[in-house]
Amino acid sequence: MKGKIAFEEHMAIEETLQETKSFAGESGRWDDFTNQILDMGSRRLDNMDVTGIEFALQSLNAPGVQGIVDTTEAISVAKKANDTIANAVNKHPDRYGGLAALPMQDPEAASYELTRCVTELGFKGAMVNGFTQKDSHDSAIYYDIPEYREFWATVSELDVPFYLHPRMQLPSHAQNYEGHPWLMSAPWGFAVETSIHALRLCGSGLFDDYPNLRLVIGHLGEFIPHALWRIDARMRFSPRGYRGTRPLGEIFLDNFFVTTSGFYNDPAFKNTLDVMGAERLFFSADYPFETMQDAAGWYDKTPVISDEDRTKIGRTNAIEFWGLELE
Ligand code: GRE
Ligand code: ZN
């Protein structure tokens, strides 16, 4: 399919590059991977051309700004990353858009940077890599706490989507992963970490206060769509501490949107489609952690959607969702 739009596509800057090393695959691949993730020119664009991806929103690699303990440094790295993305967008406005990296260490600074990115740089929303560290390497701050309500008010006012991207749990918080580093990472722990964060947001009353918030999660919903029925079924018996005024499943289906990033599998996709509906699903690749060839090769041919839905999920949903100026 030509004309696809993707939006979990990552770049890096020198300051955040090294964090990605352990995810780049075999050690011999690092130099090439570095070239791929830093490049925002012909290599990325050629890849998009051959896989039918017309337009892609670019975002900083994980954990990016969220892994920086010094707030002043976090603010300056976020700004540098966003200015780097803006520069690529300016060069290729018909191919790229931007999602803002945010210094969540300081909610007010995060609001300020998001506002700058949206109103001055024309960014379409934010991409944040899970909980943030701050001051101490062992800290992990989640955004359902009251300190972030003003930040969410800004997101709501700007009316832009917020993509909650995975990061790995901190070793000091991960006793249950001990001895199994593979388990903490993209095969499983990424989804556990991200789904817990998303569910915390759902259970915090946030979406009662700001019903227009639009949260995006990748990897076919980080296991949540599959589990949604059971969450509500069991919550009837143990809703302790739940602060939503509606069942969690309703909140999730109203306020969350899901992409195919890094998860190219028919049965899992079919289940996600059944639960979410074609209007709330989007194509994405997760380049360069995945190849655009794998993402598009599967998506263009999967028999579990009609051609009408393929066009929606691959393109037209995204145009409306992000307010893109594409036909
Ligand atoms: C991602 O961006 O989703 C990602 C990483 C590292 C490894 C796997 C992966 O950042 O999907
Ligand atoms: Zn990603």
What percent of the chain clears pLDDT 90, i.e. is strictly above it?
96
pLDDT at residue 27, rounded to an integer = 75
- Domains of the chain, each with CATH number or no CATH: 4-322 (3.20.20.140)
Number of residues assigned to the chain? 327
- Classify strands 132-134 and 136-141 as parallel, antiparallel or unpaired: antiparallel
What percent of the chain clears pLDDT 70, i.e. is strictly above it?
100
Determine whether the shortest distance from the Cβ of 174 to ligand 1 is under 6 A.
no
Alpha carbon of 302 to those of 17, 45, 96: distances in Å?
A: 34, 24, 26
What is the pLDDT averaged over residues 303-316? 98
The answer to whether 10 and 66 have CB atoms below 8 angstroms apart is no
User: Distance (Å, rounded) from C-alpha 105 to C-alpha 100?
Assistant: 15
pLDDT at residue 323, rounded to an integer = 97
Ligand 1 nearest-atom number relative to CA 262: 11
What is the pLDDT averaged over residues 170-185? 95
**What pLDDT digit, counting tens, does each position of 50-82 carry?**
999 999 999 999 999 999 999 999 999 999 999
Q: Which of 83, 208, 286, 294 is catalytic?
A: 286
Question: Could you tell me the pLDDT band of residue 130, with boundaries at 50, 70 and 90?
Answer: very high
What is the pLDDT averaged over residues 257-263? 98
Radius of gyration of the chain (CA): 19
Spacing, Cα 234 to ligand 1 middle (Å) = 31
pLDDT at residue 25, rounded to an integer = 77
pLDDT at residue 142, rounded to an integer = 98
The per-residue pLDDT of the chain, averaged, comes to: 97
133 SS3 class: strand
Q: In terms of pTM, does the model score above 0.85? A: yes
Question: Could you tell me the pLDDT band of residue 141, with boundaries at 50, 70 and 90?
Answer: very high
Strands (E), 145-299: 162-164, 215-217, 256-259, 281-282
Kindly tell me if the per-residue pLDDT of 294 is higher than 90.
yes
Kindly tell me if the per-residue pLDDT of 201 is higher than 80.
yes
Kindly tell me if the per-residue pLDDT of 26 is higher than 90.
no
Kindly tell me if the per-residue pLDDT of 246 is higher than 80.
yes
User: Distance (Å, rounded) from C-alpha 10 to C-alpha 325?
Assistant: 21
Which residue among 167, 289, 291 has the greatest number of ligand 1 atoms within 8 angstroms of its CB, and so is best to mutate?
289
Determine whether the shortest distance from the Cβ of 44 to ligand 1 is under 6 A.
no
The answer to whether 212 and 153 have CB atoms below 8 angstroms apart is no
**What pLDDT digit, counting tens, does each position of 91-129 carry?**
999 999 999 999 999 999 999 999 999 999 999 999 999
Q: Residue 256 pairs with which residues in a beta bridge?
A: 215
Cis preceding linkage at 93, omega within 30: no
pLDDT at residue 2, rounded to an integer = 98
The answer to whether 284 and 6 have CB atoms below 8 angstroms apart is yes
The answer to whether 322 and 7 have CB atoms below 8 angstroms apart is yes
Spacing, Cα 218 to ligand 2 middle (Å) = 7
User: Distance (Å, rounded) from C-alpha 29 to C-alpha 25?
Assistant: 6
Determine whether the shortest distance from the Cβ of 62 to ligand 1 is under 6 A.
yes
Determine whether the shortest distance from the Cβ of 286 to ligand 1 is under 6 A.
yes
Stated as kind and residue range, the H or E segment containing 322 is helix 317-322
The answer to whether 270 and 303 have CB atoms below 8 angstroms apart is no
Spacing, Cα 231 to ligand 2 middle (Å) = 26
User: Distance (Å, rounded) from C-alpha 322 to C-alpha 263?
Assistant: 22
The answer to whether 113 and 100 have CB atoms below 8 angstroms apart is yes
Identity of the amino acid at 64: G
- Catalytic site includes residue 294: no
User: Distance (Å, rounded) from C-alpha 325 to C-alpha 65?
Assistant: 29
Determine whether the shortest distance from the Cβ of 9 to ligand 1 is under 6 A.
no
pLDDT at residue 275, rounded to an integer = 98
- Which of 16-30, 222-236, 276-290 has the least mean pLDDT? 16-30
pLDDT at residue 62, rounded to an integer = 98
Residue whose tokens read 């303990």: 69
Q: For residue 101, what are its two tokens?
A: 């990296």
Question: Could you tell me the pLDDT band of residue 24, with boundaries at 50, 70 and 90?
Answer: confident
Q: For residue 281, what are its two tokens?
A: 């699903």
